[in-house]
Amino acid sequence: MMCAIYCRLSKEDGEKAEESESIQNQKSLLIRYAEDRRWDIYAIYSDEDYSGADQERPGFGAMLKAARARAFQIVLCKTQSRFTRELEMVEKYIHGLFPLWGIRFVAVLDNVDTDVKGNKKARQINGLINEWYLEDLSENIRAVLDQKRRQGKYIGSFPAYGYQKDPGDHNHLLVDQEAAEVVRQIFRLYLSGLGTHAIAGRLSGQGVLSPAEYKQAQGLHYVNGNAAGRGARWNHTSVARILKNEVYLGNLVQGRKRKVSYKSKKLCDVPSDQWIRVEGTHTAIIDRASFDAVQRRLGGRVRADGSGKPHLLAGKVRCMDCGSVMQRLTHTYKGVPKSYLQCKRYAATRKQPECSGHTVRLDLLTDAVRERICGYAAACYELSGVQRFRVEFGGGQRGARVKKEIASLQRQEARLRQAVTSLYLDKVDGLLTGEQFVEMNAALQQDRQTAVRRRTALEVRLLESDREEIDEDSLCRGIGELLRFRTLDRELVDMLIDTIEVGEKDRETGEQRVNINWNI
């Protein structure tokens, strides 16, 4: 008779000896058992650190392949649980396929032998007991892991990008400064108005390793099939995942997914109210204000127009009648492109429209919104504020602080001018593409304009405070000019505006209602 020996060991079995020694003990026992019965040994198959519920064990699979080919007549194991702990597998192979293949199953310590009539029920009871054991073990492991999560311990195999595991405590995260700076750059670029696709393109252009490649470069045995062969290429999904991850606030949010059952590797989503959130477990990389600003913009579901940068009001404008988001359309008239917004439902059902177009020119709507914001700011401004300006920006220590800030802003403007010059030289030398130069130059110019506006405002207020008699009317006019925003940025729009409702244009009067729902 030809027999195949199968051995298995896993952590679930609670063995005290080393794995190799325990496997060796199984082999010795089974070889001696086969020799005593003068069975020839076809092969010895073994799996270390594999669960009895795992149907994809390599040694197990090889043995079944040989059994299907009728290469031997007996499968010999130490116990039935070494073969499997699932009752379903017992029925499928031991009671189903093995008899069809002419295979006899023997488990030494359980006195299991399919050639012995009458012990089928014992084998089934063994299978049921083993399955109960797996179920109880799974529940116990889950309870232990949930307890660790509630204690603020990180239990993932790999840390989030931007962090590394503490060598002294693998359940604690430390900041990885190199990757953390990339995370900060992603948040800065997104708040400046770039979309996730554009950010991914910029990082790839700079040769920044993607999260998967970076982990591998750190010596971690991390495998991401979706990233295979991409090298340093980033994608918008990775960028969006980083922007949404609360771990960068110093918080751990775990338990978002759970196995369907201990028999399956498939994961299912856990409702957000059942996630385990513990705050302040490690050092934050992103401040709360920046993170919240990003979440507000993400919540607006803004979409880029192909340039990587969404328009200023993207995701905010809705049809006043049906509530659908207004989508952007571009038409060229006499060589000049013009952008319009139109009801998305009307565009989708144009043959049998469920709503009208509510079409509005984007530039005119943007100007109207800016005027409304200016009016809102003016309404919030009080004349009594002039007196506060006198105190705040008058002489003494406070006046000195204002002068110090003005000097700091002047130095900042000089640095930004130098940066623009260096940027242009990089473009001339071929270190930057024309597109990269335009994007980076725009960001630097915006920072410079912000610094100029702030410095000008401080100088105006300081000048007014130095006068013996303040012309309140003149000062109010000056402040009013400062309140009339010449340009808007996305961050300001997100902060002030929830949604903008656009009505259908009146055919007789040409009027079109625009309602702004404010956040404050």
CATH code of 250's domain: 3.90.1750
DSSP state of 305: -
Q: Residue 136's CB: how many other CB atoms inside 10 A?
A: 11
Predicted TM-score of the model (pTM): 0.44
Tokens of 183: 């995370």
Same domain as 13, residue 115: yes
Residue 33 burial (CB count, 10 A): 16
363 domain-assigned? yes
Q: What is the pLDDT of residue 227?
A: 47
Residue 304 Cα to chain centre, angstroms: 19
Distance between CA atoms of residues 167 and 137, nearest Å? 29
Alpha-carbon distance of 205 to 188, in angstroms, equals: 17
| Spatial separation of the C-alpha atoms in residues 398 and 200, rounded to whole Å | 45
Residues 21 and 169 in one domain: no
Same domain membership, residue 58 and residue 89: yes
* Final residue before a domain boundary, out of 299, 325, 353: 299
Spans of the chain, pLDDT less than 50: 14-20, 226-231, 302, 304-308, 383-384, 386-387, 389-396, 468-470, 475
Asked if residue 456 and residue 510 are part of one domain, the reply reads: no
Measured distance CA(42)–CA(69) in Å, rounded? 13
Same domain, 290 and 211: yes
Q: Which candidate, 89, 34, 134, places its Cα nearest to that of 26?
A: 34
- 116 with 57, same domain: the answer is yes
Task: Please report, for the domain that includes residue 72, its CATH number.
Answer: 3.40.50.1390
My answer on whether 143 and 28 are in the same domain is yes
Structural domain containing residue 436:
393-468
Instruction: Please indicate, yes or no, whether residues 188 and 232 belong to a single structural domain of this protein.
Output: yes
Question: Cα dihedral angle (297, 298, 300, 302), rounded to 10 degrees?
Answer: 90
Residue 484 inside a domain? The answer is no
Number of domains in the chain: 4
- The C-alpha atoms of residue 473 and residue 307 are separated, in whole angstroms, by 45
| DSSP output for 464-519 | HHHSSS--HHHHHHHHHHHHS-SS--HHHHHHHEEEEEEPPPPTTT----EEEEE-
In a domain, 158, yes or no: no
Domain assignment present for residue 153? The answer is no
| CA proximity to 19, closest of 47, 59, 60 | 47
Both tokens of 25, joined, read 């003990």
Domain boundary among 249, 270, 299: 299
Domain shared by 13 and 126, yes or no: yes
Last residue of a domain, one of 299, 325, 348: 299
The answer to whether residue 205 sits within a structural domain is yes
Say if 182 falls within a structural domain: yes
Start-to-end Cα distance in the chain = 85
Domain assignment present for 68: yes
Looking at the structure, do residues 333 and 265 belong to the same domain, yes or no? Answer: no
Q: Which of 257, 254, 274 is nearest to 266 (CA)?
A: 257
Reduced to 3 DSSP states, what percent helix, strand and coil does the chain have, rounded to the nearest 5?
50, 15, 35
- For residues 357 and 460, state if they share a domain: no
| Angle formed at CA 271 by CA 497 and CA 223, multiple of 5 degrees | 95
Instruction: Tell me the C-alpha to C-alpha distance, in Å, between residue 489 and each of 306, 317, 431, 437.
Output: 19, 16, 29, 20
In a domain, 388, yes or no: no
One-letter identity of residue 401: R
* 14 and 103 belong to one structural domain: yes
Instruction: Please state the separation of Cα 232 from the chain's center in Å.
Output: 18
